[in-house]
């Protein structure tokens, strides 16, 4: 019966003041509730599920699906229902409610049903439609939302993690992953899911939301499932695909930013310092080095980090930004990690490589400028003055001598600067400029220093301002030739048999001025002379006697005899 041609026979509904018009010729239909959205109407040959109460005209109940606790399932228009019900159900929407009045000749006629329905009984049905499907139905998929970028979609044999709400076609919920606070994790296309879900997940992107309507023959069919899914029930799933991968997947790399100049790429055994944000495929942040304001520092290729990151950092340049997508079998597997990384989760790391080095690395020296005619170069024990700028490899400025308004001064080889800088200042000419790349084992090591992160590779821009020839280790003054044979007498300027500090200082300065010897280079020569005097004044009485005065070469020889 067409929806628009249904006739309400008000006289048969008991309108006051009218006489009995006689027996009904057809079913009387009262559509007392019609849902706002009706995607489908019952047609001949459709399978349906519905609830009903059946009564006589006096209101006496003769049957009820509610009382049996089970819906009625059947096919419309093939003679399996009484004719009146066949006609009265056509055109119904899911969740529609109808009152049906079925005359005897369209019900059980003059025979009735023994002990239940008397002959020639008019039947009254209150019906609610719960489900409609047809054997020719196909899966109905509606994409609710989809990410802008989708590089890959689900295929058969992929392992998927998804959230879902499952309802019957009338909206009755039967299951939800959200209520379990856990995704549903399974393989697609391997028979672990109902056929409709196997098909409905194909082609999805991570982060995509779909509505999937599955007819019973692609779901749980005639048997249903437990007490929550009735036989012959269509199922509606609202699905959010959280992530997916294939057991054959390797690490996927996306190079977000690669420096124009990349002289070296990281290899197994290198020690790498990098920042990262770690997210799940749905964008949930599970960890970040930035939140700790500290890089993650580790060796690569040695098993100190998850295998996927070990692989994903191979070949990086200093300063590179790359995205590393790691399947769970190369990350934390089925068990996950803590409460932030679920089991079987695909991990995405956005990585910024700050620097890396190898424990076997030497100092890297680049000569920017070297004056012509450079014949005299620096050696250990030389006293040098130099300007420098010190930074990390990502450009972060650490220190600069220019900030102090004067060059740095140091005696090379005296352990006054880090080993790498000392090496980089050797064999330089005055006026020469260099760039030094110093690995941490020749810098400040794993612990770092004030203002210098642990295990940091340092970049120095150095310019040698001046240099003074040094003296051998352990010496404060050396003679350019042989010292005077009567050294004490010459040093005792007033010939009183003792040498106070002022006489000692005057004598040494005279030797330096006349080119007969040189002091250890220093920004404070008076202090060097004072140290020399202190060394010679054995009893610390403020004067040097002939017995106390000894050349260092003589002292060293005495020590050798003592050891022998």
The catalytic residues are 52, 62-63, 82, 108, 125
CA distance linking residue 286 with residue 148, whole number of Å:
23
Helix, strand, coil percentages (3-state) for the chain, rounded to 5, are 20, 30, 50
430 and 464 Cβ atoms separated by less than 8 Å: yes
CA distance linking residue 156 with residue 198, whole number of Å:
8
The per-type count for the chain, helices as H runs and strands as E runs, is: 9, 28
**Closest to 25 (Cα-Cα) out of 40, 10, 45, 9:** 9
For residue 337, the cross-strand partners are: 341
Burial class (CB in 10 A: 0-12, 13-18, 19+), 499: buried
- For tokens 């093939």, the residue is 78
CA distance linking residue 217 with residue 372, whole number of Å:
90
214 and 200 Cβ atoms separated by less than 8 Å: yes
Give me 47's structure tokens.
Answer: 């399978």
Distances (CA, A) of 132 to 127, 359, 452: 14, 71, 71
**Closest to 45 (Cα-Cα) out of 1, 4, 86, 106:** 86
| b (16+ CB within 10 A) / e for 79-93 | eebbbbbbbbbbbbb
DSSP string for 317-364: PTT-EEEEEE-GGGTTGGG-BTTTB-TT--EEEEEEEEEEE-TT---E
Type and span of the H or E element at 214 = strand 209-214
378 and 384 Cβ atoms separated by less than 8 Å: yes
- Count other Cβ atoms within 10 Å, centred on residue 14: 8
């Amino acid at each position: 019966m067409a929806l628009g041609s249904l006739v309400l026979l008000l006289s048969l509904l008991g309108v006051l003041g009218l006489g009995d018009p006689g027996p009904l010729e057809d079913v009387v239909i009262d559509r007392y509730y019609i849902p706002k959205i009706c995607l489908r109407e019952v047609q001949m040959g459709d399978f349906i599920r519905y609830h009903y109460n059946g009564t006589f005209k006096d209101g006496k109940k003769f049957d009820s699906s509610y009382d049996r606790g089970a819906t009625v399932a059947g096919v419309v228009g093939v003679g399996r229902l009484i004719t009146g019900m066949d006609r009265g159900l056509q055109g119904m929407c899911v969740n529609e409610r109808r009152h049906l009045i079925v005359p005897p000749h369209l019900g059980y006629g003059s025979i009735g049903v023994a002990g239940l329905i008397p002959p020639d009984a008019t039947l009254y049905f209150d019906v609610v439609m719960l489900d409609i499907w047809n054997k020719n139905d196909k899966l109905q998929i509606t994409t609710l939302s989809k990410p802008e970028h989708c590089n890959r979609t689900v295929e058969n044999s992929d392992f998927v993690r998804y959230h879902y709400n499952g309802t019957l076609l009338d909206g009755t919920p039967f299951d939800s992953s959200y209520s379990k606070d856990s995704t549903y994790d399974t393989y697609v296309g391997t028979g672990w899911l109902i056929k409709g879900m196997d098909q409905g997940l194909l082609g999805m992107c991570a982060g995509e939301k779909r509505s999937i309507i599955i007819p019973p023959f692609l779901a749980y069919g005639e048997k249903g499932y437990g007490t929550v899914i009735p036989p012959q029930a269509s199922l509606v799933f609202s699905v959010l695909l959280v992530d997916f991968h294939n057991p054959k997947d390797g690490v996927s790399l996306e190079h977000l930013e690669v420096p124009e100049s990349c002289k070296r790429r990281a290899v197994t055994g290198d020690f790498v310092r990098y920042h990262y944000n770690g997210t799940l495929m749905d964008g949930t942040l599970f960890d970040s080095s930035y939140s700790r304001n500290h890089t993650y520092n580790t060796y690569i290729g040695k098993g100190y980090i998850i295998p996927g990151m070990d692989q994903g950092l191979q070949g990086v340049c200093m300063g590179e930004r790359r995205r590393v997508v790691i399947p769970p079998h190369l990350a934390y597997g089925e068990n996950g990690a803590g409460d932030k990384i679920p089991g079987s989760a695909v991990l995405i790391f956005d990585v910024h490589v700050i620097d890396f080095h190898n424990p076997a690395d030497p100092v890297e020296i680049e000569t920017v400028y070297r004056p012509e005619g450079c014949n005299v170069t620096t050696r250990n024990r030389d006293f040098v003055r130099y300007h420098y700028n010190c930074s990390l490899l990502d450009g972060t400025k650490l220190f600069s001598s220019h900030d102090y308004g004067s060059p740095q001064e140091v005696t090379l080889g005296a352990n006054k600067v880090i080993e790498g800088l000392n090496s980089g200042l050797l064999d330089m000419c005055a006026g020469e400029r260099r760039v030094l790349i110093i690995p941490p084992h020749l810098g400040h090591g794993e612990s770092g220093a004030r203002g210098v992160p642990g295990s940091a590779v340092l970049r120095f821009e150095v310019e040698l301002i001046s240099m003074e020839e040094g003296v051998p280790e352990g010496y404060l003054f050396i003679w350019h030739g042989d010292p005077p044979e009567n050294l004490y007498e010459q040093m005792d300027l007033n010939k009183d048999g003792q040498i106070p500090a002022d006489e000692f200082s005057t004598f040494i300065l005279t030797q330096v001025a006349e080119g007969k010897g040189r002091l250890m280079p220093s920004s404070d020569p008076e202090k060097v002379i004072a140290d020399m005097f202190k060394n010679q004044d054995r009893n610390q009485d403020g004067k040097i006697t002939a017995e106390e005065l000894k050349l260092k070469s003589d002292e060293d020889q005495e020590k050798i005899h003592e050891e022998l």
